[in-house]
Structure 1
Amino acid sequence: MGLFDKFKRLKSNFTGEPRPYIEDSRLVSKKLHDNTTYLENRFKDCSDITFRELRINAGSSKSGLMLLVFTDGLIDSTLVNESIIKPINFANGLKKSSDINVALLQDIILINSIRVTKKLDEIIHSILSGDTVLFIEGSDEALLLDTRGGESRSIEESSVESVIRGSKEGFVENIRTNTAMIRRKLKDPNLKIKDLKVGSRSHTSVAVVYIDDIVNQEVLQYTLNKLEEIKIDGIFDSGYIEQFLENNTFSIFPQMQVTERPDKVCGNLLEGRMVVLVDGSPDALIFPVGLVQLLQSPDDYYERFIFANMVRLIRYLGFVIATTFPAIYVAVTTFHQDLLPADFILDIAKTRVDVPFPPVVEAMLMEGTIELLREASARLPSKIGQTIGIVGALVIGDAAVRARIISPMMVVVVAITAIGSYIFPHFSTSYSIRFIRLPMILMAATFGAFGIIITWTWIIAHMCKLNSFGYPFLAPFAPINTDDMKDAVLRAPLWGLKTRPTPASNRNKRRK
Structure 2
Amino acid sequence: MNFWDRCRNKLKKLNRTENPSPEKEVKVLEKKLEENLIKIKDELGDSSDLVIRYFELGTESPAAAAVVYISGLVDDKKANKFIEESLKVEDPLKEAAYSQKDMFDIVRDRALSINNIVMVSDWNKLLLTILNGETVILLDGYNEAITANTKGGQTREITEPSTQLVIRGPKVAFTESIGTNVALIRRYIKSPNLRVETQQVGSITKTDTALVYIKGTVNEKVLREVKKRLNKIEVEDIIESGNIEEYIQDNAFTPFPTIYNSERPDAVVGNLLEGRIAVIVDGTPFVLVVPALFIQFFQSPSDYYQNYLIGSFLRMLRIISYIISILTPSLYIALTTFHPQMIPTSLLISLAAQHEGVPFPVIVEVLIMEFTFEIIREAGLRMPRAVGQAVSIVGALVLGQAAVQAGIVSPTTIIVVAFTGIASFATPSYNIAVAPRLLRFLMMILAGGFGLYGVFVALFILIAHLTSLRSFGIPYLSPFAPFIPADFKDTIIRRPLWSLDSRPRLVSQQNNKRQARGNKPSPSDNHNGN
TM-score bin (small chain): over 0.9
- Look up the match of 1:26: 27
Structure 1 residues 503 and 103, CA gap change in structure 2 (3 angstroms): farther
In structure 1, how many angstroms separate the alpha carbons of the residues matched to 2:113 and 2:318? 54
- Contact map agreement 1:53 1:65 (CA 8 A) in 2: yes
In structure 1, how many angstroms separate the alpha carbons of the residues matched to 2:319 and 2:108? 62
- Look up the match of 2:269: 266
- Look up the match of 2:526: none
- Look up the match of 1:457: 460
- Look up the match of 1:17: none
- Look up the match of 1:221: 224
- Contact map agreement 1:57 1:92 (CA 8 A) in 2: no
In structure 1, how many angstroms separate the alpha carbons of the residues matched to 2:432 and 2:106? 55
Alignment partner of 1:154 out of 140, 153, 157: 157
Alignment partner of 1:135 out of 122, 134, 138: 138
In structure 1, how many angstroms separate the alpha carbons of the residues matched to 2:218 and 2:106? 40
In structure 2, how many angstroms separate the alpha carbons of the residues matched to 1:260 and 1:102? 46
Deviation at 1:475, TM superposition (A): 0.5
Query: Residue 417 of structure 1 aligns to a residue in which SS?
Result: helix
Q: Output the amino acid matched with 2:54.
A: E
Deviation at 1:155, TM superposition (A): 0.5
- Contact map agreement 1:364 1:438 (CA 8 A) in 2: yes
Q: Output the amino acid matched with 1:32.
A: L
- Contact map agreement 1:83 1:109 (CA 8 A) in 2: no
Matched, 1:284 2:283: no
Alignment partner of 1:397 out of 396, 400, 424: 400
In structure 2, how many angstroms separate the alpha carbons of the residues matched to 1:491 and 1:462? 26
Matched, 1:65 2:64: yes
- Contact map agreement 1:56 1:91 (CA 8 A) in 2: no
Alignment partner of 1:370 out of 369, 373, 377: 373
In structure 1, how many angstroms separate the alpha carbons of the residues matched to 2:510 and 2:501? 14
Q: Structure 1 residues 164-173 or 131-140, which shifts more? A: 131-140
Q: Output the amino acid matched with 1:307.
A: I
- Look up the match of 1:231: 234
In structure 2, how many angstroms separate the alpha carbons of the residues matched to 1:34 and 1:272? 51
- Look up the match of 1:16: none
- Look up the match of 2:499: 496
Q: Structure 1 residues 137-146 or 198-207, which shifts more? A: 137-146
- Contact map agreement 2:249 2:259 (CA 8 A) in 1: yes
- Look up the match of 2:168: 165
Alignment partner of 1:312 out of 312, 315, 328: 315
Runs (4+) of structure 1 exceeding 6 A deviation are none
- Look up the match of 1:3: none
- Contact map agreement 1:88 1:109 (CA 8 A) in 2: no
Q: Percent of aligned pairs with the same residue?
A: 38
In structure 1, how many angstroms separate the alpha carbons of the residues matched to 2:178 and 2:59? 42
Structure 1 residues 352 and 232, CA gap change in structure 2 (3 angstroms): same
In structure 2, how many angstroms separate the alpha carbons of the residues matched to 1:104 and 1:132? 14
- Look up the match of 2:74: 75
Q: So what's the TM-score if we normalise by structure 2?
A: 0.90
Deviation at 1:276, TM superposition (A): 0.7
Deviation at 1:218, TM superposition (A): 1.7
Which structure has the bigger radius of gyration?
A: 2
- Look up the match of 2:15: none
Q: Output the amino acid matched with 1:480.
A: F
- Look up the match of 1:48: 49
Q: Output the amino acid matched with 2:173.
A: G
- Contact map agreement 1:195 1:208 (CA 8 A) in 2: yes
- Contact map agreement 2:308 2:496 (CA 8 A) in 1: yes
1:101-140 to 2 correspondences below 5 Å: 101-102=104-105, 104-108=107-111, 111-140=114-143
- Look up the match of 2:422: 419
- Contact map agreement 1:84 1:109 (CA 8 A) in 2: no
Structure 1 residues 106 and 86, CA gap change in structure 2 (3 angstroms): closer
Q: Output the amino acid matched with 1:199.
A: G
Structure 1 residues 106 and 375, CA gap change in structure 2 (3 angstroms): farther
Query: Residue 234 of structure 1 aligns to a residue in which SS?
Result: coil
Query: Residue 50 of structure 1 aligns to a residue in which SS?
Result: strand
- Contact map agreement 2:85 2:110 (CA 8 A) in 1: no
Q: Structure 1 residues 500-509 or 390-399, which shifts more? A: 500-509
In structure 2, how many angstroms separate the alpha carbons of the residues matched to 1:66 and 1:160? 50
Give the superposed CA RMSD.
1.6
Cα-to-partner distance string for 1:118-138 (whole Å, 9 max, x where unaligned): 111111001001011111223
Query: Residue 179 of structure 2 aligns to a residue in which SS?
Result: helix
In structure 2, how many angstroms separate the alpha carbons of the residues matched to 1:23 and 1:272? 47
In structure 2, how many angstroms separate the alpha carbons of the residues matched to 1:24 and 1:483? 59
Q: Output the amino acid matched with 2:300.
A: S
Deviation at 1:334, TM superposition (A): 0.9
- Contact map agreement 1:362 1:406 (CA 8 A) in 2: yes
- Contact map agreement 2:132 2:151 (CA 8 A) in 1: yes
- Look up the match of 1:145: 148
Q: So what's the TM-score if we normalise by structure 1?
A: 0.93
Alignment partner of 2:445 out of 442, 445, 466: 442
In structure 1, how many angstroms separate the alpha carbons of the residues matched to 2:202 and 2:111? 36
Structure 1 residues 448 and 293, CA gap change in structure 2 (3 angstroms): same
Matched, 1:39 2:40: yes
Structure 1 residues 88 and 211, CA gap change in structure 2 (3 angstroms): same
In structure 1, how many angstroms separate the alpha carbons of the residues matched to 2:416 and 2:32? 77
Query: Residue 480 of structure 1 aligns to a residue in which SS?
Result: coil
In structure 2, how many angstroms separate the alpha carbons of the residues matched to 1:115 and 1:279? 22
- Contact map agreement 1:174 1:281 (CA 8 A) in 2: yes
In structure 2, how many angstroms separate the alpha carbons of the residues matched to 1:146 and 1:465? 47
Q: Structure 1 residues 215-224 or 81-90, which shifts more? A: 81-90
